[in-house]
Structures are given as C-alpha cells and as structure tokens.
Chains A and B, each alone.
Chain A
Amino acid sequence: MGGGLAGVTASIACAGEGRSVLIVERQSFLGGHAASFCCKAAEKCLECGLCAAMGRFRSLAGNRLVEKLFCSEVSSFSGEMPPFSAEITVRQNPVDPLECTSCGLCEAECPAGAVTRNHEAIPPQFYVIDGVKCLRSAGESCSRCADLCPAKCIDFSRTSKIVEVNPRAVILAAGYDSLDALSLPQYGYGSIEGVITAHELEGLLASQGELSMAGPEGRPRRIAFIQCAGSRNPHKGRDYCSTVCCPYALRLARMIRHRDPAAEVTVFYIDLQPVGKSHGAFIEGCRGDEKLRLLKALPARLSPVTGGVSIEYEEMAKGTNVVEQFDLVVLSTGITPSGGNHLLESLYGISLTRDGFIKTLEDGSTGREGVFAAGSSTAPMDMEGTIISASAAAARVISYLGGERN
C-alpha cells in the first residue's frame, strides 16, 4: 500500500523472490515525496540518498512481477488468515495510461491547469487529469484535451472501478504528510513574500537548478533556514523530532553555498540532529564556511520589509533581541503522520502510536496477522532508514509466507 520509497523497496525485494506484487498508489505516479526532492550534492556527494531512491523507482517501473494501480485506495479489507480479501477503489482518470504518449499537449492546452504528469525520470509516463480542478467538475462541457489528444486516449466516460484482490500479506507504506506551514502563523507563510517551505525550495532547485527569485541580481543573497518548523512542539500535538529536517536543511545550505559563493546562509536551530554517520565531519565542513552560520535561536517573529523578510530572535547568551533581514526564509517543515493513518487503523485493525504513526515491531509486524508496515508511516525517518525499514519488512514477509507461492 503506497508507491513511495518504502513500498517500492519492499516490492522489489518481494518480487525478486518471484512473488506477484501489487502496488496500490493513491496518487497518479510512483515515488511519493521522494519524487519531488532534489539531489543535494555540493562539491561532493552529501549522501542525501535521492539517487538510491530514484534507482529503485526506475528499477521497479520495469519490473513485470509488480503490478501498479494508480489513483487507487483500499476500501475494504477482511480475513483472519491469508489469503485476505481486499477491495481497491480505482478513481477515474480520463487518460488511459497505456495509450498516453506523454506528448504534453493536454497539459499545455488545459484552461484550468488540471493536467499533470509524474516525475520525468520515473516511468511510466502518462498524464492525469485532476477531477477537482477540471472544468467538467463545475458542470462545464470543456473537452479541449480530449479533442486535441493525438493518441485519442482521453475519455471522460471512464468511471471509477472496484478491483478485488486476495493478498497473502499486506505491507502498509503510506508515507507521511508534509507539515502544513499555514498552521504556523508566527512564520507568516502564505502572507509574507519570501517565506517558503523547504519542500518548495527542493522543488525549485530540482526544476530550475538554481534560485532565481527575490534579492539583488535576481538571486537571494541572504537566506535563512528555520529548523523545527512545527516539530518538537507538544502544543501542536507533535511531541517528537522529525529527524530529517536538520540533515536536509544543512545539506541544502551547503549546496546553496556551493552553487552561489556570494550567498550567505543562516540556520536557526534548537539542537542540531545528526546528519548521517559522518556527522562530525559534516558539521566541521559547515563551521569551516564563514558564510554558513549555525545559530542556536528560535525566531520569535517574522515581518515583511521592503525587498525581504525580517526575523526577530533572542540571542540567549546576551538576553537581547536581534532583528536581521533576509531575502529568503526557508521553513524546515517536518514530518507529520499521514492523515490517512486513522483510516488504516480501522480498516486493518491495527494500532497507532501516541504521535499517530503506525505502531510496529522492528520487523514491521503490526500485531494483525499478515499485515506489516514500513517506512515513514511508522516513524519519521530518512531515505536510508526507509530503505532499511522496508527491506526489514520485506524479509519478514518473505519468511512469513515461507515456501508458499500463489
């Protein structure tokens, strides 16, 4: 359940065993969150793990033992022992993925911007029409994309369908939700220009390769990262560290410094969490860069100023407040449990942790016979952790199913 890094890693391992695997993906593409991350290499590889993820997505795309259902969700699940019976609702996508040639005409011509495509590096390539954005959902009779499509693969009469399957084991790999930055009013996301989330920054870097936005010469010169945006905050119900934000923010900071030697980066943090196994050397590298400042302080207030954002924070050792101006402020938003976890809880009869993640043992077992969970649906984790957790769950499933073959 889930075609992100955890689901894909576990699928490859189970398919390698000769088992038939079905991936049920809610969205229209493989890759989950990882598909929108960017490689964070600076003067050398900083081991963010993205290439490992991308390699697995590409490898899975060509794996015939793994069937993929997109725009799909499990709507019912029953059975005490394998084989279980499950019903999967496949939402309508007017585009036939097998016929679509990814020519892009529909995306270019859609008046509502309702047509999107998955990550270009991850096959299969096909377009998806967002049923909500599409003008037809408002009762209009637009059929511009269907009329233009050279492959004639857009058909609005397609409806949702139910697929019934009988899995012998289930791996829940539904991933996480990125924290909604609008829930942090003190940081002015959505109201102050120049405040973006780290996820948006990754998207910009992945698509543009560089930052061309506000600031002199069309590039931000002074960039601030605000750590723990929403994490480590019991008042918001997030009484945990997201574990990935310090690593990604520091890697992004080094990458930005590498690409633009004139940029000045400040990272506001509570505590720096470890960046991979060679954390010590990594932090030394950060401290050796005079234009990369690590500042233990939590900003109190952000306000818009001409040409940028001002940040007010307390310099704790002096007990005074300081105001500084930046061109771009990046909120290092954390991992929150997937909003769908509560549905999974009742659908599969599993339990959740106090923080809302799926409760598992180290081998991914959930307590329910035949149901396992892996990846960031079980706890906040980075890509390496996800790969380890997913292959641990896969090993458990392989040993659980033993010599049976279906």
Chain B
Amino acid sequence: MKNIGVVICDCGGTLAGKLATSSLKDAMAARGASPVEIHSRLCAPEGLDFLKERFSGKSDALVIGACAPRLYESLFRSCFEESPSRLSHISIREHCAWVTADNALAASKALHLVCRAYGAIEKDVPREPLPAAPLPAATREVAVIGAGIAGISAASLLLKMGYPVTLVDESETLPPGVGEAAGAARLIGTIEGIEGQAGNYRLTVSTREGAVEKKTGAMLIATGFDKSSDLTGFPPELHPRILGAAGLESLQGASCPRGVIFVTDIYRDMPPCFYRKVLEASLDLRKKDINVTVLYRNMRVTFENGERLYREAREKGVLFLRPGPAPVMKAMEGGMELFVEDTLTSVGGRPAMVRVAADYAVAPLVPGPLKGASDLAAMAGLGCDESGFFQQDNGSILPGRANRRGIFFAGGCRGPVDGTRARQEGYSAACAIHAFFIGCGDNCEAPAVKAQVAPGLCALCLTCVRTCPHKAVEVAFGDGEAVAPAARVCREACEGCGICVVECPAAAISLEEDRP
C-alpha cells in the first residue's frame, strides 16, 4: 500500500483539545500518511461528501479515527467503491477520549491506535475474508429462569408467538397468574452450568431426579430481587416488635392501641414499590382507627396513583414526619417510643421535637440481589453492577439486554421494581427475544460489522478473550498440525464493538463487514 490517507473526526470539536488532534495530524503526516485531514462532523452529509471528495479514487487505503466503528463504519464504507480498498476505523472517542479524565493519556492512546492501524496497512498485513459458512442453526427455544411475575409474563407472550418455553425455578410453588404460562415446560432445580453461545446455549439444571441438560436458543433471566429488612436504628430489645415489609399482613389481627410506626428511607435509599406498600398498609390501619406515623425523607410517588395514595393517607390522619438527625427509638412497657426532630414543623425557630408511642414498627425494606445471582452471573459470563444486581448492556440503550447475545433480563433481577413494571419488562423481553430470533437485531442500529482474527498474526496472548465483554472470543486449537491455534470470534456472539481490535497487541484483529 502506498497511498494511505488519515482522517480524524473531532466530533464537533469536542475531541480537539482532549486528543490534541492537531499534533496527531502532524505526527501522522510525519509518518508519511497523505493526505491527513481533520473534520468535525464526518457522519453528517457534508462529512460524507468530504470523504468522497478527498479520498475516493485517490487513496489506496484510509485510516479513520472517529467514534465507535459500530456507529458509522458501514456508513463510511458506503462512500467508497473501488478505492480506498482498505479502510481501518479506529475509535478515538469511545476508546480514548471518553475512558479517562487524563487528557495526555487519552491523546497518547489515540496516537498509538491510529499509528498501529496505519502500520498494519503499511506492512499490508493480509486479511482473509470471513468464512462464508452459515451461522449454526439456532435452537428456537427459550429458557425463562425464574417463574415470578416478569418470567411468567414473558413466557405467556412467547408461547403465543409459538416458541417452546421452559420455566426454570428452584421453587415448586408458582405465583398467582401462572395460568397465563400454561403450556410452558417446567424444570424445578438449580442451574449448575451454562455453556455455548447465542442460539445454542446449553443449561445444566440439577433437579431432584438428577442433572438435566436443556438446549435453548435464548435465555431470559427473571430471578427477581431479595427483600430483607434493615434494622438500623432499632435497639435489640425492640426487635420482637419490628416487622419486615413482608410481615405487614400480620398487623391485620394485631392489637395496636398506641399505633404503628413505618420507617422508610431514613438511613438509605428505598425503591418506590416499598412506599406503595407503606401507604396502602397505613390506609388499612387508619380504617381501624389505629394511629400511624411514617418517617420519611423523600416520599416516592412515581407509581400509579402514588400521589393520590399519599394525599389520601394525609387526609385520613397518617402522621408524616421528616426527621433531621436520626430518630431515637426506645422500648417502653408493652411497646416503644420514638423521639424525632421534625424538620417540617418549627417551634420558636427550631425544628419541633416530637414524641410518638407505638406498639409495632415496620422496618425499611432493603432490596438486594438474590443469593445465587452472582453464581449465575459468573456461570453465564454476565456482568453485575456495584450493588450486585445484573447489569444490562449499556445502561439505557438496550433495556433488558445482557452483555451476551441471546441473554435477556426482566424485572427485579436488574434492581427493585414493582409488579406493574415487572410485568411490562416481561412483555418487553418477549419482544426483544422474538426480535433476536427473527434476526432483526436489537431494535437499534445493528451494524453488520464483526471482529475477525488474522490467524497468522495471533500470538495466543488471550487479551481478546479476557477483554471481550460479550464472551464472543474463543480459542480454536486448530486441526492437528494443519492449522495453528488461534483466537476465533464467534460471529453469532460478536456485537462489533471493536474493543478486541483496540486491545490486541499484535494488531491481528480487525472489524470487517459480515458477509454471510
């Protein structure tokens, strides 16, 4: 390759300072690239015109340093016909500018990556085309792990769409509403192993009858969340009089001459679903003329009819107190008393000191990941967030999708949700799973670009295996002596993110258009 052009997109000028694009340009020109250009909006119509005008038919190869290849690489490729015959798209935005606050570090990584792409073309490292073999046939079956509200909602729609569904749950008892998912096969037991790739996962479930292997194309994780109670602030002698959110029903028949205290987000944040329970229970108690006090900092009313419930509770005489410093609870004869500085009322320029007596207190709910969640995550190669809940892929871009293709989340396994949201997420997951099977991707722009390893260059350092967030890279140990062992990208699992391309120390991986 003789005539190698370089174009850097500074994304509307936002990368110019951080990545020192002008010195990057000078450095590439000094290495012999020509022409070297900086543009501000390569993805806009004027940017595409610029690419055509400056490089089409003029350069043999082109290195583009811009945003992530999965966003616009195919668009950039569409600008050229015969030449440049090779195009190397480097992510200097997502992989350099956006990953560190250190400008010098970001700039040096950008320079390094662009230089390496340039060098690989200069040496004319040969690329073999992707194998034209068809993808392995997908098993059109779905395993739904967790037979709660979300799992059953998803299963009911998937069954209607004609997918065989297996509900996998540790518990034999099913929640109400399971009739919707009648027709689903059931496996009762714990998951011991998850192997395979999208379209062909193999689940090992240890049941009472022994280990069962289940083949499945896609998996929905709907294991829910753990609801324990937080006893912070309650002295130990009071514990027999403290109820958890789950034990609210036991208040029904209890005698409460003094009243009941609900503690909500005083010590830590609480999900809105708990406030619904608190407000509903408070109103029930008021119907029996029982005194109710609610301690809160922020009343979460984002659920359906939340504001109405809250107002009705105030109208019916529920006492809402917003403590300044932590409230003090003490045991007293046959009950407890609470001392609290209420920041909502003042007496003589100071917050009012309030004393409330009660028979029982309801402790705040602490939502947490289920006990087995981290094991399941490790088995399936899935990510967890800092609280231990399952981490969906890319925050809000793809709700409900895991970092591995063919695995989806719904309901509380990603964080606490109420029943309405769990049901919606279940239905929504059914939509995503259906879309996965019919191959329309993820409802987002799905680039037909996949990573590919040049086997001759692979040094088997396993960097790509470790860094691939989608668990798409495997090591193929070759066919005896005929083929040397090398890393291999599973096309059905690759998302075309380009992380392996950037990380590979041997520059052996490139993103190529998928040619099935």
Partner among A15, A391, A403 whose Cβ is within 8 Å of the Cβ of B428: A391
Give the residues from 7 to 22 in chain A that come closer than 8 angstroms, CB to CB, to chain B. 9, 12-13, 15-18
Among the 9-residue stretches B207-215, B339-347, B451-459, B463-471, the one with 4 or more Cβ atoms under 8 Å from chain A is B339-347
By CB atoms of chain B within 10 A, which of A18, A383, A395 has the most?
A395
In the complex the two chains form, is B306's CB within 8 Å of A271's CB?
Answer: no
- With the chains together, A319 CA to B306 CA distance in Å? 28
Question: In the complex the two chains form, is B161's CB within 8 Å of A399's CB?
Answer: yes
Verify A240–B271 contact, CB threshold 8 A: no
Stretch of B17-25, B85-93, B126-134, B296-304 at the chain-chain interface: B296-304
Bound state CA distance, A384 and B443, in angstroms?
13
Interface residues of A in 311-364 (CB under 8 A from B): 316-320, 362-364
Q: Does B434 contact A (CB under 8 A)?
A: yes
CB distance from A5 to the nearest CB of B (A): 12
Chain B 327-341 interface residues, beta-carbon cutoff 8 Å to A: none
Check A281 for interface membership: any CB of B closer than 8 A: yes
Check B397 against A396 for contact (C-beta < 8 Å).
no
Give the CA-CA distance A239 to B268 in the complex, in Å.
27
Q: Is B482 an interface residue (CB 8 A)?
A: no
Residues of A with C-beta under 8 A to B423: 362-363
Q: In A39-61, which residues have CB < 8 Å from any B CB?
A: 43, 45, 47-49, 51-52, 55-56, 58-59
The chain A residue with its CB closest to the CB of B343 is A317
Contact across chains for A391 and B300 when beta carbons are under 8 A apart: no
In the docked arrangement, what's the CA distance between A276 and B395, Å?
Answer: 10
Within 8 Å by CB of A55, from B305, B386, B414, B445, lies B445
Name the residue of chain A whose CB is nearest to the CB of B344: A316
Across the interface, which residues of A come within 8 angstroms of B431, CB to CB?
A: 13, 391-392, 394-395, 398
- In the bound complex, residues from chain A placing their C-beta under 8 Å from that of B161 are 395, 398-399
Residues of chain B lying within 8 A (CB to CB) of residue A13: 431, 434-435, 443
User: Would A51 and B397 count as touching, CB distance under 8 A?
Assistant: yes
Complex alpha-carbon distance, A56 and B440, angstroms = 13
B164 interfacial contact with A, CB 8 Å = no
| Residue interface mask B293-324, A partner, CB < 8 A = 1 | 00000111110111110010000000000101
Q: Is the CB of B415 within 8 A of A277?
A: yes
B445–A283 touching, CB < 8 Å:
no
0/1 interface trace, chain A 372-406, chain B, CB 8 Å (1 if under): 00000001000111011101111110110011000
Whether A316 and B399, one on each chain, are in contact in the complex, defined by CB atoms closer than 8 angstroms, is: no
- Complex: how many Å from CA A271 to CA B415? 21
Q: Are A363 and B396 in contact (CB under 8 A)?
A: no
A150 at the interface (CB under 8 A from B): no
Cβ of B166 within 8 Å of any chain A Cβ, yes or no, is: no
Q: Would you give the shortest CB distance from A337 to chain B, in whole angstroms?
A: 14
Q: Does B349 contact A (CB under 8 A)?
A: yes
Answer yes or no: A241 CB below 8 A from chain B CBs.
Answer: yes
A45 neighbours in B (Cβ, 8 Å)? 395
Contact of A395 among B299, B311, B434, B444 (CB under 8 A): B434
The one of B301, B426, B438 that contacts A273, using a Cβ cutoff of 8 Å: B301
Contact between B153 and A362, CB atoms less than 8 A apart: yes
Which residues of chain B come closer than 8 Å to A240, judged between CB atoms? 301, 305-308
Q: Please, which residues of chain B bring their CB within 8 A of the CB of A133?
A: none
Write the chain A residue with the least CB distance to B268: A280
Q: Contacting A234 at CB < 8 Å: which of B160, B162, B311?
A: B311
Question: A142 vs B107: C-alpha distance in the bound complex, in angstroms?
Answer: 55
**Chain B neighbourhood of A388, CB < 8 A:** 399-400, 421, 424-425, 428
B residues in contact with A379, CB < 8 Å: 304
Interface range, A side: 35 or more
Q: Are B343 and A58 in contact (CB under 8 A)?
A: no
| B123 contacts A by Cβ under 8 Å | no
C-alpha gap A277/B416 in the complex (Å): 8
In the complex formed, the residue of A with least CB distance to B305 is A240
Say yes or no: B444 contacts A271, CB within 8 Å.
no
Bound-state Cα–Cα, A279 to B271, Å: 9
Given known A17-B438, A280-B269, A392-B428, contact A43–B386 (CB-CB < 8 A): no
**A394: nearest chain-B partner, CB-CB:** B431
| B427, A392: Cβ atoms closer than 8 Å | yes
Q: Is the CB of B351 within 8 A of A317?
A: yes
Q: How far is the CB of A72 from chain B (nearest CB, A)?
A: 24
- Assuming A241-B306, A379-B304, A384-B399, is B157 touching A59 (CB within 8 A)? no
Closest B residue to A44 by beta carbon equals B98
Report A-chain residues with C-beta under 8 Å of the C-beta of B435. 13, 16
Which chain B residues border A398 with CB–CB below 8 Å? Answer: 161, 431, 434
As a 0/1 sequence over residues 54 to 98 of chain A, the CB contacts with chain B under 8 angstroms (1 = contact) are 011011000000000000000000000000000000000000000
Instruction: Check if B302 sits within 8 Å of A239, measured CB to CB.
Output: no
Per-position 1/0 for A278-321, Cβ under 8 A of B: 11110100000000000010000000000000000000111110
Question: Does A243 lie at the interface of the complex (its beta carbon under 8 Å from any beta carbon of B)?
Answer: yes
Does B398 make an interface contact (CB < 8 A)? yes
Whether the Cβ atoms of A318 and B434 lie closer than 8 Å is no
Most chain-B CB neighbours within 10 Å: which of A296, A379, A391? A391
Nearest residue, chain B, Cβ from A387? B399
Pick from B299, B399, B440: contact of A271, CB under 8 Å = B299
| Closest beta carbon of chain A to B49's beta carbon, Å | 13
Decide if B443 touches A273 in the complex (CB within 8 Å). Answer: no
Query: Does any Cβ of A come within 8 Å of B449's Cβ?
Result: no
Q: Quick check: is B272 within 8 A (CB to CB) of the other chain?
A: yes
A232 at the interface (CB under 8 A from B): yes
- The reply to whether B424 and A389 contact each other, CB–CB distance below 8 Å, is yes
Pairwise interchain contact B386-A272, C-beta atoms closer than 8 A = no
- A176: min CB distance to chain B, Å: 15
Which residues of chain A come closer than 8 Å to B432, judged between CB atoms?
391
Chain A residue, CB-CB nearest to B347: A319
Q: A59-B445, A234-B311, A319-B349 are in contact. List 18 more A-B contacts (CB 8 A).
A: A12-B443, A16-B438, A18-B438, A51-B397, A56-B443, A59-B444, A232-B301, A271-B298, A274-B271, A280-B268, A280-B269, A317-B346, A319-B345, A363-B427, A384-B399, A395-B428, A395-B430, A398-B431
A-B contact list, 8 entries, CB within 8 Å = A16-B438, A17-B438, A51-B397, A271-B300, A280-B269, A362-B153, A385-B421, A392-B428
Nearest first, the 3 A-B pairs at minimum CB distance are: A16-B440, A319-B346, A392-B427
